[in-house]
Every structure is written in structure tokens, then in C-alpha cells.
Amino acid sequence: MRYLTLLFVLSLAVWADPPKEGLEDTGNTLVNRLQLHLQVADDLQGDPEGSLASAGSRKSVGKAVLFSAVLPGAGQFYNGSPWKALTFLAIEATAVAVNVSYNKKGKDKDTEFKIYADENWSEQRYWSYV
């Protein structure tokens, strides 16, 4: 379980966005936010056709959520991220396989316990303890 957690935490770097050029960490959160705000404002003002603002509105967020609810990863595939889609689908398939495996192991142990209890139970010994 520790290895899975470690793998998950390390895989978060795949989805992390690289820092924008021209932004430096000053150590002050307010200054960093102001720099980021000014950078975004400059990017939007430098785009006369509005292609940056409308780029995200081509895909429906609701559709992506519904697709992901039906099949894990389908929303990411809809948004144009096939590798993320495969990753989410693989994680979901692994989780289902682990769940089925552990349920089967639990049922096997339950059956083993019942067989052991039936073989070693004695009514006479039971009444002697009561």
C-alpha cells in the first residue's frame, strides 16, 4: 500500500503545469499573485481575436463530467487528453480487479473458517463450558 501511495504522489508531477516564463518566486504570496494576475491580463490583452478566452469554451464541461461518470477517462479523452484517459481507465480497472480479488480471498477464508469450525465443534465440549 505504501508503494501505491508513493507511486500516486510521484505521478502527480505528470499533471503539474510548468511555471510560466517571466514569473519569479519572490517568497511573498501577494506579490506572486499580483505578478500572475498581471501576466494573465497581458496575455489576454495581447490576443485581439479572443482565441485564448474562447479556447476553453469549445468543449462542454458538463459533457466531460457525464462521459467520465459513464466510463472513467472518457471525459479526459473528450477534452483531448488520451494519455490521461488511459491512465484513469487503468486506475479504475486496477481498483475493480483488486476489489474482486480481495472479496474472493475473504470468501475463501470464510469458507475455510466454517469448515474448520464444523470439523472441530463438539456439542459435549460446548455444554461443558456453559
3-state secondary structure 7-64: HHHHHHHHHCCCCCCCCCCCCCHHHHHHHHHHHHHHHHHCCCCCHHHHHCCCCCHHHH
The pLDDT, as a whole number, for residue 95 is: 96
Q: How far apart are CA 67 and CA 60, in angstroms?
A: 11
What cell numbers appear for 81 in the block? 487528453
42/72: higher pLDDT: 72
The pLDDT, as a whole number, for residue 45 is: 73
Which pTM value belongs to this model?
Answer: 0.47
Mean pLDDT for the stretch of residues 71-91: 92
The pLDDT, as a whole number, for residue 23 is: 65
The pLDDT, as a whole number, for residue 21 is: 63
